[in-house]
């Protein structure tokens, strides 16, 4: 059986479809570590954590911030059900940086009332958001 050249990727969240289109490769933040998916991948089901979904189509690369979700790989088709997914162009970098500083301050404060687990997650989300937003800015071709 010939291996297909493209994968049809759909990224959906509860309130909208974030992305739908054919891509060459996908990298997703599974709970057990980042997973790479190329065309012809065997069917797979995994849970996603906080991180970036990176997919490549020709020369263009797109970063999507993702926090929690599921990925289902089917022959020729990949569906990502994410709790949050934001295209890098939609990320509010300033807000993410503020969130990071806020989380850092809370973590360093030593205040017993702080919910450390939640703050740490907030921090991870902020960092991933910033990375997702910045990666694309770096990769955008200079003219």
Partner 1 sequence: MKFVSAARLRRAQERVIAARPYARHITEVLKSLAGRVPEDAHPLLAHREKVEKIELVVITADRGMCGAYNTNIIRSALEFLGDHSDKTVELNILGKRARDFFRRRPYPVRSEAVNELQNLTFADAAAITKTLIDDFCNGETDEIWLLYNEFKSVVQQRIVRERLLPIEHIENPDSDKTLEYIYDEPPEKIFAGLLPRSVEAQVFRALLEAAASEHGARMSAMEAATNNAAEMIDGLTLYANKIRQAGITRELIEVVSGAGQ
Interface residue with partner 1 among 34, 38, 47, 92 (CB under 8 A) is 47
Q: Which residues contact 55 (CB under 8 A, 6 or more apart)?
A: 9, 19, 23, 24, 25, 26, 27, 61, 62, 64
Among 8, 13, 127, 130, binds partner 1 (CB under 8 A): 13
Interaction between residue 32 and partner 1 (CB under 8 A) = yes
Rank residues 10 and 24 by Cβ distance to partner 1 and give the closer one: 10
Nearer to partner 1, 17 or 89 (CB): 17
* Span 67-86, contacts to partner 1 by CB under 8 A: 70, 72, 74-75, 79, 81, 83
**Per-residue DSSP letters for 20-35?**
EEEESEEEEEETTEEE
């Amino acid at each position: 059986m010939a291996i297909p050249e493209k994968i049809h990727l759909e990224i959906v969240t509860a309130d909208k479809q974030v992305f739908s289109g054919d891509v060459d490769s996908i990298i997703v933040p599974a709970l057990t570590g980042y997973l790479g998916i190329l065309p012809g991948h065997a069917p797979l089901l995994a849970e996603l954590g906080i991180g970036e979904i990176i997919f490549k189509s020709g020369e263009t690369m797109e970063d999507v911030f993702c926090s929690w979700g599921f990925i289902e790989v089917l022959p020729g088709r990949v569906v990502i059900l994410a709790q949050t997914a934001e295209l890098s162009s939609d990320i509010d970098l300033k807000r993410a940086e503020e969130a990071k500083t806020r989380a850092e301050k809370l973590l360093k404060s030593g205040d017993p009332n702080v919910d450390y687990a939640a703050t740490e997650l907030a921090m991870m989300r902020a960092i991933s958001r910033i990375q997702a937003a910045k990666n694309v800015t770096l990769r955008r071709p200079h003219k």
